[in-house]
Amino acid sequence: MTLRTSAARETAVFAALDDFRIELPSWGFAQTGTRFGKFLQPAAAATLEEKFADAGLVHSLTKACPTIALHVLWDLPQGVANVSDVKTLAAKHGVAPGSINPNLFQDQIYKYGSFGNPEAAVRKAALGHVIDSIAIQTALKSRDLSLWFADGSNYPGTANMRRRKTWFVEGLQEAHARLAPRQRMLVEYKPFEPAFYHTDIADWGMALLLAREAGPQAKVLVDTGHHYQAQNIEQIVAWLLSENMLGGFHFNDRRYADDDLTLGSIDPYQVFRIFHEIRFYEWETGAQADIAYMIDQSHNLKGKIEAMIQTAMAAQELFAKAALVDHAALADAQSRTDLVAAEELLRDAFATDVRPLLREWRRNQGIREEPLAAFRESGYLERITRERAERNAVAAGSYA
Ligand SMILES: [Mn+2]
């Protein structure tokens, strides 16, 4: 059984939704594709203003996405010189700058790695870019610096994995020393791709060790697409929570590898189980988990804005379902090892249709009950298609 009365369910879901925010990625609105090619969309955003406008629209329709993650190379190519543009756009479009993402994989110098590169000059250049990114983070009052490293190697014997670990510790410590007191540094892991023999930060254990070595403001970032098949992601979440080392998420779904599919499209129960572990931790400890929920998806086939609205709605639904678990009953069933009763508490919450409560919550926020329908009726897509189509037909550009 879930929480017993409908009043209790409504209170739990509304409180959960009031607190739940998920960050949009600027690159999710741009022309992106697979490593085989891109299918260009006439309405895709090419400028920073267009990314802010699209993100602002998603937030206005969902009231769940007040921030946008920025990618330094793609969004602030002139570094801190672009900060005033970002502030102007944020005010104009009603979305604040969120996490700052340095780019340590696209420049030619990173062919053999960034923080793990055997050449000291490249390691220094990579650190310089991270320090510049922290300056942007400070100027924009962003809380999180989000670090993902593509570093790795393709063939056995070609990289000194131990030396590279040491270089990573050195680089992360130097970057951490530049953080202001309230800023955080999030360390993301991924088992393979683009490197196919070894990756320097391949799993949560490596990310945890490096974050600990870096300093107290470094935490681990869990990208749901960055695990081997069958890995128990909610257990990783539970362990990181118990170590106070879970800093944030990059949400996406997948069927095979890092597929960047819409959150919950393949395995919604997986996302529910992650949210459940967070909420159960908070109930048991009385602590508020300090987690940045972020989306890391780029859609090659779906319309980009629609896919983001769908993602925000899926996240809200699954978070709301997790809020329906009766924690006291669960703790009791676990202590009595009543396996079926314990499992059924999760299954019942997951099976509950929370969409009527979500519609009511949206009415209370003064927005339309059905954000996807509201988007289709808004005429926004038709307008930006007219405005952007001609330019987008000729510009294939960089990744984002
Ligand atoms: Mn990611």
Question: Given a cut of 80, is residue 256 above it in pLDDT?
Answer: yes
Note if the bond before 66 is cis, omega within 30 degrees.
no
Distance 398 CA to ligand 1 centre (A): 18
Would you place residue 398 in the very low, low, confident or very high pLDDT band (cuts 50, 70, 90)? low
Distance 341 CA to ligand 1 centre (A): 36
Query: What are the φ/ψ torsions at residue 99 (nearest 5 degrees)?
Result: -65, 150
Amino acid, res. 371: P
In angstroms, the CA 28 to CA 74 distance is 12
Distance 146 CA to ligand 1 centre (A): 9
Q: Which helix (H) or strand (E) holds 147?
A: strand 144-147
3-state secondary structure of 199: strand
Query: What are the φ/ψ torsions at residue 255 (nearest 5 degrees)?
Result: -110, -30
In angstroms, the CA 308 to CA 262 distance is 8
Q: Give the residue from 114, 19, 115, 25 showing the smallest Cα distance to 295.
A: 25
Distance 370 CA to ligand 1 centre (A): 28
Distance 288 CA to ligand 1 centre (A): 24
Percentage of the residues of the chain whose pLDDT score is greater than 70: 98
Distance 53 CA to ligand 1 centre (A): 23
Would you place residue 319 in the very low, low, confident or very high pLDDT band (cuts 50, 70, 90)? very high
Distance 338 CA to ligand 1 centre (A): 38
Could you report the per-residue pLDDT of 114-137, keeping only the tens digit for each? 999 999 999 999 999 999 999 999
Distance 250 CA to ligand 1 centre (A): 5
Could you report the per-residue pLDDT of 142-170, keeping only the tens digit for each? 999 999 999 999 999 999 999 999 999 99
Instruction: Using alpha carbons only, give the angle 249, 254, 256 rounded to the nearest 5 degrees.
Output: 130
Average pLDDT over residues 188-215: 98
Rounded to two decimals, the pTM is: 0.96
Amino acid 108: pLDDT: 98
Amino acid 395: pLDDT: 63
Distance 346 CA to ligand 1 centre (A): 28
Question: Given a cut of 90, is residue 335 above it in pLDDT?
Answer: yes
Would you place residue 63 in the very low, low, confident or very high pLDDT band (cuts 50, 70, 90)? very high
Distance 202 CA to ligand 1 centre (A): 13
Instruction: Say if residues 173 and 209 touch (Cβ distance below 8 Å).
Output: no
Amino acid 309: pLDDT: 98
User: What does the mean pLDDT of the chain come to?
Assistant: 96
Chain position carrying tokens 């170590």 = 243
